[in-house]
Chains A and B, each alone.
Chain A
Amino acid sequence: MSFLSNIFARRQQSSSVAKDRLQILLAHERGAGEAGESDLIRQLHKEIMEVIARHVAVDQDKVQIKVDRGSGCSMLEIDVEVPQELSGKRGS
């Protein structure tokens, strides 16, 4: 088998993609147990929002929360849209 066909063969192996996805997912779900991780994220979200709300008025609809669970580390991304006039005032 040539080098090229090796690459192509690997790309077609949807079963290994399935296996990798499952292993990452289950590592998290097993660790999280009953409520664990979703609780943690809810708590983090709540507290971070409280801190931000002390300084700026935040519209709850303009907050986006994303989680990306990887095999090595996970990323929690909280995207808060700050009102235009307020950020303008600060600048002046």
Chain B
Amino acid sequence: MAKVLVVTSGKGGVGKTTSTAALGAALAQSGQNVVVVDFDVGLRNLDLVMGAERRVVFDLINVVQGDARLSQALIRDKRCETLSILPASQTRDKDALTSEGVARVMDELREKFDWVICDSPAGIERGAQLAMYHADMAVIVTNPEVSSVRDSDRIIGLLDSKTQKAEQGEKVEKHLLLTRYDPARAARKEMLSVEDVLEILSIPLLGIVPESEDVLKSSNVGAPVTLAAPTSLPARAYFEAARRLSGEKLEVSVPVEKRGFFDWLFKRDA
């Protein structure tokens, strides 16, 4: 049974696209068939973060409008054969996405894949609501910062009211992914701690992704961090989060670097 997962946040720039790519690649590396779908029409970036920007021919809107078949628009990742991407359109606007068209594409994707991961646009408008509408599960990406937490709370409200599950009287399974976390600053009480955010949002914790250079380095070269730097701290956090999504019970810990002399010595190469 395929799972539809939406990666959402309300606020922009918190790491939705990065997390979509990283979680998608992590799940795909465990052998499951994964498609990542970009819903950010007009501002697509998932293709760029995944390194597929030069291979886009057709996009989600072409498929929704019947101008292309789904199989023509899907791009298979070159590094991981169980991972595919369905890009958004860069030139059209969000109104080109009809709810019936999206429903049809989602049904078709459910048949082909084990995981359909939808990268939501920022905001709470139509695009974000279409991205979350078909979701069985949601990953709410949040930074330990007041505006991000407030927007996440708003998105949680929408997940509980504006989704197909909600309309059927069911619940979308919600998971909190705390990104750009700095354990040292949280310990100095300069940053909201994991416990603070959990107490405010009261949804289960999927993982803590530390602030790390590796995330930017990976997007620079067009690879999910779980493919480009699989042993890095953020990648380890994403791999564990992916295992939790698959149903494994793993304790969530704050990832801390154990840095030895040799790590320090070779750090420059990275």
Name B144's closest neighbour in chain A (CB-CB).
Answer: A15
For the complex, is B186 an interface residue (Cβ under 8 Å from A)? yes
Query: Contact between A15 and B153 (Cβ–Cβ < 8 Å)?
Result: no
Query: Contact between B189 and A13 (Cβ–Cβ < 8 Å)?
Result: yes
Query: Contact between B200 and A29 (Cβ–Cβ < 8 Å)?
Result: no
> A19: which B residues are within 8 A, CB to CB?
192, 196, 199-200
Q: How large is the interface on B (under 10, 10 to 19, 20 to 34, 35 or more residues)?
A: 10 to 19
Q: Contacts A18-B146, A21-B146 given: A26-B189 contact, CB under 8 Å?
A: no
> A16: which B residues are within 8 A, CB to CB?
189
Residue-wise, chain B 185-212 has the 8 Å CB interface mask toward A (1 for contact) of: 0100111110010011000000000000
Query: Contact between B200 and A15 (Cβ–Cβ < 8 Å)?
Result: no
Q: A13-B189, A15-B192, A25-B150 are in contact. List 18 more A-B contacts (CB 8 A).
A: A12-B189, A14-B190, A15-B186, A15-B189, A15-B190, A15-B193, A15-B196, A16-B189, A18-B145, A18-B192, A18-B196, A19-B200, A21-B146, A22-B150, A22-B200, A26-B153, A29-B150, A29-B154
* A-binding residues in B (CB < 8 A): 145-146, 149-150, 153-154, 157, 186, 189-193, 196, 199-200
